[in-house]
Amino acid sequence: MAENKLSIPIKLSNGTIFLILFGESNDEILLNLNDAEENGESPFQIIEGCSYEYKLPKGYSLHGYKDIISQSKVHKFSGRITPNIYVGTLVINVLDSEQNKCGELKLEVQSKKITYREDYRLMLEEITEKCTDLLLQHSSPVSQYFEVNFNFDAQTLYQRFAFVKSILESDEFNDSLHKIISAPVTRWKDNEEKKDIRNVRKFTNSSIRQLAGATNRIELTKNHQLFKRMKSVPEKIRINNKTETVDTPENRFIKFVLISFQSFFSDLKEKTKNNGRIFAEAGILENKIQEYLNHSVFKEISKPKTLPLNSPVLQRKEGYREVLRVWLMFDLAAKLVWHGGEDVYSGNKRDVAVLYEYWLFFKLLDIVSEIFSIEQGSVKDLIKKTTDGLGLQLKQGKHTAVKGIFDAGTRKLNVKFSYNKTFQGEMNYPYGGSWTKKMRPDYTLSIWPFGITQAVAENEELITHIHFDAKYKVENITGIIGTDEDFIKEKEDQRKGTFKRIDLLKMHAYKDAIRRTAGSYILYPGTENPYKKNGFHELIPGLGAFSVRPSKTNTGSEALTVFIKDVVQQLLNRASQKEKIAYKTYETFKDKPFDIVNQSLPETINSDRSLIPDETYILIGYYDKEKWKWIYEKGWYNARAGSRRGSINVSPKVAGAKFILLHSEGELITDKILEITVSGPQVWSKETLISKGYPSKSNDNYYYLVYKTEPVKRIELFGKKWDISKLEGYKSDRGSGFPFAVSLTELMKVKV
């Protein structure tokens, strides 16, 4: 039942005292006797993220968990319990007036998510399956010897226990055992017994021979039909018959599995007598296994010695194949050391949020492996030989990565999926990393063109990073994007470990601080549709959230799979807006700025939006003074084309010029600036020029580049003068009339 106040008995050596627990602001206290015993928990349960006041009799106090228990400064026998994000059993020492331990208070901290127990077991089970697959890549034995070594330290034993517990509590395992017990595999067995000859119904060659030679005989009467052939027959003869038995190699294996599990739990209890939580959980499972072994089916089954793993019954028959899989998982888990598991279930903790982070790694690995060709070697490296066995290389804070290639036929891409990749802080452009502080997303998918290194791809803006963060405590999209009231509650929520808008802001931090990040997304165990916000018109850059939940049937990861596939399709598009942004970024930042333009220029708005000084070009051209009137009034300017001396070199700058600055012989400082009104020059013959009134009497057959112009109207440029002799492209003497193009930035440097 849910209450706001609870009286909890604490046994002492000389009696019992009671601790009174009060829930603040309607925070619930649960008295959960049935579920608690089943799960090896304390029946007195509180909720994570909530706050509780407590009071003991005078002379007693609580000790331990300094970050959870705060003692009153007025009365040591009272204070506050704030579990924050801790989930598991709190074993708190009770001290007497002389500060000696005299008892223990056990409180179970439940997760706010009501499904956390089921999620915890299911995720551990699936991680165990993945570890089994990885271990099988190291070794694929045909048979196994049934010897299990339990000589491990308590931490390693509990690691195995956590894996095994998740499997044995699964519906699949229990259903399999019920199927075996209900319809076990049987075989016919030959039995020999002595039977009264009068009860023998069928005689074989062996029994006929015994009629003549067996001892303990009885005399036949004279009227017996056999009397003429023999005077006596044995009283009893040995008869062979066939009986159906369940003592088969496969059933022996099933019994061995149960005995192995039971021995493991017994051994674990022996090694963890001082840990009430583990001791209780192991005892519950030990009793559960004993219930199975007490079934009559297992009474006549003997112990096995070896087992060929190619048994058709074990591999194919329903029930048996599932138990075989469980045993393989258990047996291989004995060889596995996972130091990351300490973050999940060390001591009395049940950190389901960290477990969700590990579980998501394998889910994302499945998705990435489905879409890309992941190198088998990099996957195998997830399991490595260590000094204490085979170690799963998966631990919070430790970088783990797998690599692969995506070949679309039209383009090949390198792919790298990382867990806990650290992006170093204060990295100068163009190097990868964060330009502010060091950052470490939970998962990063990095994609860049095949044929170049990751470092080159970083430096040339050719790599794309997409980040994902695991948030188990988030249940719905509202918990991510928040509401207006969340602005006020953010600080309080952070203290309590409640994740709301702060998570979305963290995604913004990844995207804005880590160079070449195209998207940052939250992964949470909800049921809603994906929440995505695109930065522009395309899928990436963007932010959002995807629901991926522990489930045997529907994890919801399909939407995430589709999203990553769509990202790849966008990256394959060579004409995408993101591709243009990447190129512009590279062109803009590849060189350090050295130009400063403080002069008055037209504002880059409306039709002048593209009037960027470094990308706006001016054609510096020569004119004959007698032709100025025609140029100015008709709005045409011509420059020689072709291979003649002084002809214009049609470069992109010349073809894309927006203005023309003209000068004549001896005119080094000029104000004759015209605006080009039609994009790009036209090619005219001399005849066409003359037909437009061009003042020339020569009869040559040359061609000219002709620009359509008008007097400049922008007040920032009208009436200004420039010294063209100071421009880098200017040539003196006979080359002074050769046309060339400069940027607006360069031109403004020579403004008079």
**In terms of domains, do 81 and 214 share one?**
no
CB 240 within 8 A of CB 225: no
**In terms of domains, do 277 and 379 share one?**
no
- The predicted-structure confidence for 605-646, as pLDDT tens digits, reads as follows 888 888 889 889 999 999 998 899 999 999 999 998 888 887
User: DSSP 3-state assignment of 574?
Assistant: coil
Domain membership of residue 600 (yes or no) is no
Cα–Cα distance for residue pair 413/448, rounded to 1 Å: 6
**In terms of domains, do 327 and 377 share one?**
no
Give 635's strand partners: none
What percentage of the chain reaches a pLDDT higher than 90?
Answer: 38
Residue 661: both structure tokens together: 């600055």
Helices (H), 526-624: 558-572, 577-589
> So what's the pLDDT on residue 706?
94
**H/E segment holding residue 136:** helix 116-138
Q: Sort residue 734 into left (φ over 0), alpha (ψ -120 to 50) or beta.
A: alpha
Cα–Cα distance for residue pair 168/451, rounded to 1 Å: 48
Domain membership of residue 590 (yes or no) is no
Domain membership of residue 259 (yes or no) is yes
> So what's the pLDDT on residue 388?
60
**In terms of domains, do 275 and 167 share one?**
yes
Domain membership of residue 514 (yes or no) is yes
**HSE-up (13 A, CA, CB side) for residue 318:** 6
Report the DSSP pairing between strands 464-470 and 236-245: unpaired
Residue 527: both structure tokens together: 């049921």
**In terms of domains, do 545 and 653 share one?**
no
What are the two backbone dihedrals, phi and then psi, of residue 295, each rounded to the nearest 5 degrees? -65, 145
> So what's the pLDDT on residue 289?
92
300, 325, 345 - which closes a domain: 345
CB 344 within 8 A of CB 354: yes
CATH of the domain at 43: 2.60.40
What's the chain's Rg over C-alpha atoms?
42
Residue 643: both structure tokens together: 């291979």
Report which of 106, 92, 115, 114 is spatially closest to residue 43, judged by C-alpha positions: 106
Cα–Cα distance for residue pair 36/45, rounded to 1 Å: 9
**In terms of domains, do 624 and 737 share one?**
yes
**In terms of domains, do 214 and 160 share one?**
no
DSSP strands (E only) in 577-667:
617-622, 636-640, 659-663
> So what's the pLDDT on residue 647?
85
Cα–Cα distance for residue pair 552/172, rounded to 1 Å: 10
User: DSSP 3-state assignment of 552?
Assistant: coil
Domain membership of residue 133 (yes or no) is no
**In terms of domains, do 621 and 576 share one?**
no
290, 325, 345 - which closes a domain: 345
Domain membership of residue 434 (yes or no) is yes
**In terms of domains, do 338 and 384 share one?**
no
> So what's the pLDDT on residue 276?
64
CB 258 within 8 A of CB 285: no
Which DSSP letter does residue 201 get?
-
> So what's the pLDDT on residue 489?
55
**In terms of domains, do 623 and 729 share one?**
yes
> So what's the pLDDT on residue 733?
83
**H/E segment holding residue 544:** strand 542-547
Domain membership of residue 578 (yes or no) is yes
**H/E segment holding residue 260:** helix 249-271
**In terms of domains, do 241 and 253 share one?**
no
- The predicted-structure confidence for 26-47, as pLDDT tens digits, reads as follows 667 666 666 777 777 788 888 8
> So what's the pLDDT on residue 396?
82
Cα–Cα distance for residue pair 336/124, rounded to 1 Å: 14
Cα–Cα distance for residue pair 726/747, rounded to 1 Å: 9
What are the two backbone dihedrals, phi and then psi, of residue 292, each rounded to the nearest 5 degrees? -65, -45
Report the DSSP pairing between strands 464-470 and 517-524: parallel
**In terms of domains, do 510 and 423 share one?**
yes
Give 419's strand partners: 400, 443
Split into its structural domains, the chain has a count of: 5
345, 361, 393 - which closes a domain: 345
Q: Give the predicted TM-score (pTM) of the model.
A: 0.77
Domain coverage including residue 672: 606-749
Length of the chain: 752
List b or e across 179-198, with b for residues whose CB sees 16 or more CB atoms inside 10 angstroms. Answer: bbbeebbeeeeeeeeeeebe
Report which of 166, 164, 190 is spatially closest to residue 242, judged by C-alpha positions: 190
Residue type, 252: R
CATH of the domain at 720: 3.10.590
Residue 185: both structure tokens together: 């595999």
Domain membership of residue 265 (yes or no) is yes
Residue spans of the chain under pLDDT 70: 1-3, 25-27, 29-34, 136-160, 190-191, 274-277, 333-335, 346-348, 386-390, 478-501, 697-699
